[in-house]
A and B are shown apart, each in its own frame.
Chain A
Amino acid sequence: MSSIIKRQEFLLAIIVLCSVFIYVPYFVQVPAQVSAVESWLINTMPIISATAVWVGFYTLLRRQAVRASRRVRGWYYGLMMGIMSLVVVVLGFTVGTNHDAFTFLTNSFVIPGDATIYALLVFFLTSAAARTFKVRDIESSLLMIAAFVMFMYQAPLTEYYLPFFSQPGLWLQNNLAMAATRVFGFSAALGGIVLAIRLVLGKEMGMIGLIRRKEKE
């Protein structure tokens, strides 16, 4: 049985079947039974994801336990994380996610941590931009001018006191940036369709863990 499950043809058949059941009803009117299968497949996805959460939780705890037992550098941080994870899970199951203790943990640890990292992004963006916007040639000069105009247009203070940057800023945003955005959107969508075709043809099997033996041969 396991040899059948691991066969490329078997997995490919599942991919094709699932694709057909989800893809066709999107475009064509189908009998209720087919729609029911489509709904079942879509509803199954969150269940699989939820199951995977527990696998992730287990592997995270296991890794931290191994690190702690080996006393690798910073093992106590891992141990603390493991204990905190367990506390959150136990609290979530026992008193619920609306309990004061649970919201205290979220508001006191998780949200400030996220906010700190988000604030740090500004500094990393600034240092990266400072390196990039050096005027070396015509292209980088154009880039720098465009960036300067957009900066003056977007920053609240300069937008208020130097309103003449609004017009070129809006033009850059609504024409050049919009055109580039749509090109990206088109090409990405086409790429997605082609990837789907390759998957259905069984040519992009790496994602389901199949070894490409033919390439090795």
Chain B
Amino acid sequence: MAIFVAMILMVYYYMKQAKPPYIRRVAAIDAIEEGVGRATELGGTVIVSPGIAQNGMDYWTVAGVAVLAHVARLAARNDLKLLVPLGGSDQSYALTEIARDVVEGQYRLEGKPDSFTIDNMPFLSGRQFAWATAYVGMILREKPALDVMVGTQWATAVYMSEVASNAGCMQISGTDYLSNVACLATTSDYVMIGEEQVAAGAYLSKDPVQLSSIRTQDIIKALLVVLMVAGTIAISFGSKIITDLFAL
């Protein structure tokens, strides 16, 4: 609760600053534009998965939808075919409708509402493996130039990304499942690690208010690192001052 309140206050403080805060570059997010550019040159297709939403509309899925919105806008701008195969879990039905609404919104935003095709955003299956197989089938048939997999991606992620990699796609991935990050690193050109994906929406918006929230996050993270190091040193010398502080 204290961290939450502190973060709100810090975000508010940075919002009031005239200059937008410095945010380090995130290669995986920057690479999306590069991938869309590559797809445009090749006259190819872009395929995106905002995740399987295994836990419903949790923050990973919200972040996945933010990335989907960005790719959809770029695809609309460059007249690319955008495929968004949806499904993968019992909770993915709600995401399906939200994702369609978001993508349609981005096409309208780019002044190309007629280019939006709902058939390119099919709901494939509520089961993860069936959905992944159909997703892979679409990759093999369409041979997309860019495959972006974000949000909640579980066991099937490596299967899909490996097939995409073999099919010649540029692969950008992110997941909430830590063990999968290592697997995706072996198959992807770029991987979003940890909070990079969650911060994607704010990072892409270039909005000073949203960037402030990332800056705040980095500061809190630095403070936690300092506390962890101090705690390790303290406990190594027999002092429980730091652990007692958090035992309150």
List of A residues within 8 angstroms of B205 by Cβ: 203, 212, 215
Q: A128-B187, A194-B198, A212-B109 are in contact. Are A118 and B129 (CB under 8 A)?
A: yes
Q: How many Å lie between the Cα of A217 and that of B169 in the bound state?
A: 34
Residues 188-217 of A, flagged 1 when their CB comes within 8 A of B and 0 if not, give 101111111111010110111111110110
- Counting chain A CB atoms within 10 Å of each CB, the highest count among B11, B123, B220 belongs to B123
In contact, B178 and A181 (Cβ under 8 angstroms): yes
In contact, B158 and A124 (Cβ under 8 angstroms): yes
Q: Is A27 an interface residue (CB 8 A)?
A: yes
Residues 205-227 of B, flagged 1 when their CB comes within 8 A of A and 0 if not, give 10101100110110011001000
A-B contact count (CB 8 A): 178
Q: Is B245 an interface residue (CB 8 A)?
A: no
In contact, A191 and B59 (Cβ under 8 angstroms): yes
Q: How many Å lie between the Cα of A118 and that of B178 in the bound state?
A: 18
Partner of A121, one of B92, B97, B159, B201: B159
- Please classify how large the interface on chain A is, using the bins under 10, 10 to 19, 20 to 34, 35 or more: 35 or more
Q: Is A49 an interface residue (CB 8 A)?
A: yes
- Nearest-Cβ distance from residue B109 to partner chain A, whole angstroms: 5
- Nearest-Cβ distance from residue B50 to partner chain A, whole angstroms: 10
List of B residues within 8 angstroms of A100 by Cβ: none
Q: Is B98 an interface residue (CB 8 A)?
A: yes
In contact, B94 and A191 (Cβ under 8 angstroms): no
In contact, A216 and B62 (Cβ under 8 angstroms): no
Residues 169-188 of A, flagged 1 when their CB comes within 8 A of B and 0 if not, give 00000000000010111111
List of A residues within 8 angstroms of B220 by Cβ: 190
Surface stretch bound by A, among B17-25, B27-35, B38-46, B100-108: B100-108
- Nearest-Cβ distance from residue A115 to partner chain B, whole angstroms: 9
Partner of A114, one of B102, B129, B165, B199: B129
Partner of B122, one of A63, A114, A191, A207: A63
Q: Is B69 an interface residue (CB 8 A)?
A: yes
Q: Is B145 an interface residue (CB 8 A)?
A: no
In contact, A207 and B102 (Cβ under 8 angstroms): yes
Q: Is A113 an interface residue (CB 8 A)?
A: yes
Q: Is B78 an interface residue (CB 8 A)?
A: no
Residues 48-68 of B, flagged 1 when their CB comes within 8 A of A and 0 if not, give 000000001101001101100
List of B residues within 8 angstroms of A117 by Cβ: 129, 132-133, 156, 159
Q: How many Å lie between the Cα of A49 and that of B176 in the bound state?
A: 21
Partner of A187, one of B3, B97, B194: B194
List of B residues within 8 angstroms of A186 by Cβ: 221, 224
Q: Is B83 an interface residue (CB 8 A)?
A: no
Q: Is B26 an interface residue (CB 8 A)?
A: no
Residues 173-208 of B, flagged 1 when their CB comes within 8 A of A and 0 if not, give 000101001010111000001110111011001010
List of A residues within 8 angstroms of B8 by Cβ: 197
Q: Is A129 an interface residue (CB 8 A)?
A: yes
- Nearest-Cβ distance from residue B76 to partner chain A, whole angstroms: 12
- Nearest-Cβ distance from residue A136 to partner chain B, whole angstroms: 14
List of A residues within 8 angstroms of B80 by Cβ: none
In contact, B62 and A199 (Cβ under 8 angstroms): yes
List of B residues within 8 angstroms of A128 by Cβ: 158, 162, 165, 183, 186-187
List of B residues within 8 angstroms of A211 by Cβ: 105-106, 108-109
Beyond known contacts A56-B87, A206-B69, A206-B102: 12 more, CB 8 A cutoff:
A49-B91, A55-B97, A124-B187, A191-B194, A194-B213, A203-B205, A203-B207, A206-B201, A207-B62, A209-B98, A211-B109, A216-B109
